[in-house]
Amino acid sequence: MLTKRKRVSLSAKQKYEICEIKEKVPTLQNVELAQKYNVRKSTITDILRESDHWLTITESQENTKKFHRSKWLQLEGALGLWGDNALNTKQDIDGNILKVKASYFAEQFSIEDFHHSEGWLGGFKKWHGLHQFKKQGETESAPLAESIEKDHFTLQQLLASYNPEDIWNGDETGLF
């Protein structure tokens, strides 16, 4: 008796790899790729038919299993690349910044019917794997050097009227 094949869902990165392999080795049969990735030959054929799409995925889309077909593909692609670049340079991004950048790109690409609603923003974040998180750890949550110097100066002025033996470190009080 034949066993039923399990449904296999390939990630965007795997589809990218399939297209890249086929581009490097055009003589490779689709059946061989299908066996390697445990999918049907028709799945490989469908992926290769849209190889121009799969070869242009960004880092944030690599683990995506389902893809959103955008009405404004060029705008969302540019915004996704901008977002990847901003996150790689450790910049903070929020929804308002994304909306402003989306409006900027819409203007640059002469897109007149684009409206950046909260629904679109939520979908964009989901499609590109963006989410809110708190920075943790010494280096991530530490204030900037300028603010430390300013705070240090303010603290010195505040403590000037006290005797040095009356000044304690907050960590040593046991109140935390």
Domain residue extents for the chain: 12-57, 73-127
pTM above 0.85, yes or no: no
Q: Which CATH number fits domain 73-127: 1.10.3470, 1.10.1740, 1.10.10, 3.30.420?
A: 1.10.10
pLDDT tens digits, one per residue of 114-172 = 888 888 888 888 877 777 665 555 555 566 666 778 888 888 888 888 888 877 776 66
Contact between residue 129 and residue 67 where contact means Cβ atoms under 8 Å apart: no
CA end-to-end distance (rounded Å), the chain? 67
Residue 24: predicted pLDDT? 92
Domain 12-57 shares a fold with domain 73-127: yes
The verdict on domain 12-57 having CATH code 1.10.10 is yes
State the Cα torsion 108-109-114-117 to the nearest 10°: -50
pLDDT tens digits, one per residue of 91-102 = 778 888 889 999
Residue 69: predicted pLDDT? 65
pLDDT tens digits, one per residue of 33-92 = 989 988 989 999 998 998 888 888 777 666 766 666 677 888 888 888 888 888 788 777
